A and B are shown apart, each in its own frame.
Chain A
Amino acid sequence: MEEPYPIQEMDHEDDDGSMQLVGFVIDNELFGVNILMVQEIIREMPFTPIPNSPDFIEGVINLRGNIIPVIDLRRRLNTTSTESPVENIWIIILNINNRVAGFIVDSVTKVLKVPTENIKPPPDIVVSGLQSQYITGVCRVDERLLILLDFNRILLVDEIKKLRGLNDETLINKHDSAT
């Protein structure tokens, strides 16, 4: 269960040395994920919340008989922006090392083809308020900066568990102050 942090292969390249990405937008920021990880993209559907789970776990959905957790990427990445969530959200279902999870994003762009050499390592400084540990690289697409997210890191199980523990504590504390 507790796999060591898997090294992300510098991704499945096409023969012509380029990589296909699915781009998505959160708070006007462009992100990307390797197309090979994407299982499907669905529109918003009803979640069943999981009590006492970390706040970025939005809940679970019933995807044709499979129960799949849905993670709010905005919360998971702690993006600094405080813009209110968009009305019509999308859920990208990713297969991350055989763990299937859904991620809530504001919108999804078309499939992008990016030459591998254009992908630069993440800058050490924080990009748009999100810690560089979640970033595998950045590249320029149509005059915009696209951030390649490291979903292996985002779905790092130990971290999530720890976060839940924290959550539990704060919850109890909240409870304390309430009573």
Chain B
Amino acid sequence: MKYLLDVTTLAYKEELCTGCKKCTEVCPHGVFAMENKKARFIDRDRCMECGACALNCDSMALTVETGVGCSAAILKSMITGSPATCGCDSPNSGGCC
């Protein structure tokens, strides 16, 4: 299943890639593949902005604005003004995670 197209904030600077393959290892949606010792997008729209690739990219070739893809959390942050986090530890977390 794929979510909305062309919304992800995932950005990639190929010139910084050292070919360590970490992004292909940590991405749970198969966004990356290796080609000529460089990472390459195979399906950027599958990105869910979890941030695993960017955190583990030591050459800073990957950046992404991470956040939860959770409507309840985003609505709550709109009302309270606090950052949108998964409310798994509160009793009113709804179905979130």
Q: Do A and B come from one complex?
A: no
B residues near A (Cβ < 8 Å) are: none
